[in-house]
Amino acid sequence: MDARIFVARTSEFSSERRRHIIPSPQKASLFRMTEISPKKSTSSGGSVGSGAGFPHTPRKKLFPESVQVHLDNEFELPEINKYTKQTPAELIEAITASNHIVFDFTLFEHGLPRMPKGDELSILSNLFPTQFALTVVPPMLTIHVRTLPPKPWPLTVAGLPLYLTTDEWNTGYDHGRQGAGPKVLTHLNAKLHVTKGIFEAAVKFFETEAKVDVDYIQWTTGLWKISVADGTSLTNVPSQLAGILCHYVFESKEVRPREAALRLLQPTSTVRDDTQYNDLRPGVMVSSGVFSDPSHVVLPRPELYTTSGVLVKNNEGELFITVASHGFPLGEETAYHPTPSGKVIGKVERRLGETDIALVRPGPGLTYTNEIFANPGATTGKVVTGIRNWEDIQLFSTVYMENPFTGYAEGQFLGVRYQRLPADESAPQLPWIYQTWLYMGQGTLDEPTNGSCGSVVTDEEGFALCFFRWKDMQGHAIGVSATELENYGFKIA
C-alpha cells in the first residue's frame, strides 16, 4: 500500500501545522524588520512600531509583489552626533532585533551590488556601536567594528547579505586569487545571469583547452570562483570567462565542512523537536537505526539524525520521501521517526548517485503532506508544489528552511556551484551536479546545523530550490539543487 498524500489546503492537519517543540536556534533568531527613511518620507510619520506598509522603491526591489512584508519598526533618518558619531539607542535596539534593515535605497541595483554613495554612506557608517569601516565586495556588505555587538545579528542590510567582523581585512568570503591568463568565452555573457549552457561551456573549456583539473565552478554576479588542483599555475588560467573575473582557490586550502548528520553521543542542552508526529511532512526528525554488526567485527555505533524532505513521485506514479543519503549508510537503510524507538516510516530504496539525495519508499498506511510547518506569525505553512530552477530565481532572493534542529530560518540565494562528482563512482550518474549557494547569516543559525541535512529550502512561493547539505562558520551554505530530482525522473508529488 502506498503512502497517502493529502493536499494541505484542508483543515486535516490543523493540529500539527505548528511545531510542538521550538528548537533553540529559532528561539534565538530574528524575524523582524526595521526601515530607516529620510525625514517625512514615511507613510506613518516615522513612528516606531507603526507597522507601516512598503510604498518606497526599495521595497519593490527587495521583495516580490507576491510577498506580504510586515514592518515592525520604522525610523526617520536619525541625527548622528558628528562629534561622537553616536547612534540613538532606540535605533540601535531596533537594528539588533531585526533580521532585515531596509532603507529608501538598495545596494543591489541593475543586477549588481554597489558601494553606498553620499548620504547613503553616512547612514550606513553609523548602524552599529564601534563601527569604523564598511566595504562592499560582492556578494557581501561587510561592516567592520571594534567590538562585535551581542547576537543575533541582521541577515541583510540595504538588500545585501551582512557580514560583521573586527578584522579590517576580512570581507566575509574567500574570493581566492585572480587568474593572469587570457579572456575566454567572450561570446558568452555571465555578468548578470548564468545558465546551464554557460556552466557546461566553462567545464568543456577547462577540460579540453586549458587542461586544468577543476573540482567546482561557482558563480555570483560579476565573479567566478573556481577550485583547482594543488599546484595549478595561475599564470595561464583565464583571467575572465564569459565577461566576468575568474578567481581561483586550491583544493587543499579550502576548509569544507562535512555533511552533518547528527550522532548524539552525549546529552545536550540544545532543544530539538523530537516530537513523534502522526502525519509526516517536510522538516520532521528522521533517524537511522543503531548499527550492530552480528559478527562483532565492527563496533556498534549510535543512530544518525537528519531531516525529512519532500514527497516525490516517478513517472509511474510511485511515491517516495527524500532524505539525506549519508544519514542512512549502507546496511542502515531503515528510516525511523523521530528516533529508532519511534515508528518505521520506510526503507531507503534508491540513492541518486552522489547528490546526497536518497529515496525512502513509505511504509503501509503512512500519511505525508508537502505542507511545511507554519513559520512565526503564520497560521499555515507553505505547500511545496514544484521545483524552482536556479536559473529562474533572482539573486539575493530570500529563501526559507524549516527543520527540527534549527526551526524556522531565513537565508539569501547568492549563486550557483557546479560540482564535479568523484571519478571512481561506478554507479550510473551524472558527472557534475548543480548546487545552490546560500547565505544563512552569522546570527540566525549560530548553533551547529548538524541534523539539518535533507531539509528542503524553498523560495517565497514555496517551490523547492534545494536540499540543505552544509554550512560553514561564516554563514555560507550549500544545498544540492532540487532540479537534480528532475534529472533522475522525479517531480514533486
Q: Cα 451 from chain centroid?
A: 15
What per-residue string of b and e applies to 265-301 under the rule 16 or more CB within 10 Å gives b? eeeeeebbbbbebebbbbbbbbbbbeeeeeeeeeeee
- Give the pLDDT band of residue 33 (cuts 50, 70, 90): confident
Q: Say if residue 399's pLDDT is above 50.
A: yes
Q: Say if residue 243's pLDDT is above 80.
A: yes
- Give the pLDDT band of residue 35 (cuts 50, 70, 90): confident
List of residues 6+ apart from 377 with CB closer than 8 A: 31, 70
Residue 38's pLDDT is what? 54
Torsion over CA: 19, 20, 21, 22 (sign): positive
- Give the pLDDT band of residue 137 (cuts 50, 70, 90): very high
Residue 475's pLDDT is what? 86
Q: What is the DSSP string of 51-64?
A: -----SHHHHHHS-
Give pLDDT tens digits for 411-423: 999 999 999 987 6
204-214 mean pLDDT: 95
* pTM given for the model: 0.85
305 vs 460: CA distance, rounded Å: 27
Q: Say if residue 109's pLDDT is above 80.
A: yes
Q: What is the mean pLDDT of the chain?
A: 82
Q: Say if residue 78's pLDDT is above 70.
A: no
Residue 83's pLDDT is what? 43
Q: Say if residue 368's pLDDT is above 50.
A: yes
313-329 mean pLDDT: 96
279 vs 370: CA distance, rounded Å: 11
426-452 mean pLDDT: 75
Q: Say if residue 169's pLDDT is above 90.
A: yes
Q: Say if residue 156's pLDDT is above 60.
A: yes
222-245 mean pLDDT: 96
C-beta separation of 444 from 410 below 8 A = yes
**How is residue 24 written as a grid cell?**
533553540
143 vs 166: CA distance, rounded Å: 9
Q: Cα 243 from chain centroid?
A: 27
> Poorest-confidence range of 75-89, 245-259, 311-325?
75-89
**How is residue 441 written as a grid cell?**
547569516
Q: Tell me, what amino acid is at 339? A: T
**How is residue 83 written as a grid cell?**
562629534
484 vs 487: CA distance, rounded Å: 5
348 vs 335: CA distance, rounded Å: 7
Q: Say if residue 164's pLDDT is above 70.
A: yes
- Give the pLDDT band of residue 170 (cuts 50, 70, 90): very high
Antiparallel, parallel or unpaired: β 4-6 and 367-369: parallel
How far, CA to CA in Å, does 21 sit from each of 24, 179, 270, 276? 9, 50, 12, 11
- Give the pLDDT band of residue 87 (cuts 50, 70, 90): low
Give pLDDT tens digits for 378-389: 778 899 999 999
Give pLDDT tens digits for 336-355: 999 999 999 999 999 998 89
490 vs 319: CA distance, rounded Å: 10
Q: Say if residue 56's pLDDT is above 80.
A: no
252-274 mean pLDDT: 64
Residue 45's pLDDT is what? 34
> Poorest-confidence range of 76-80, 168-172, 235-239, 352-356?
76-80
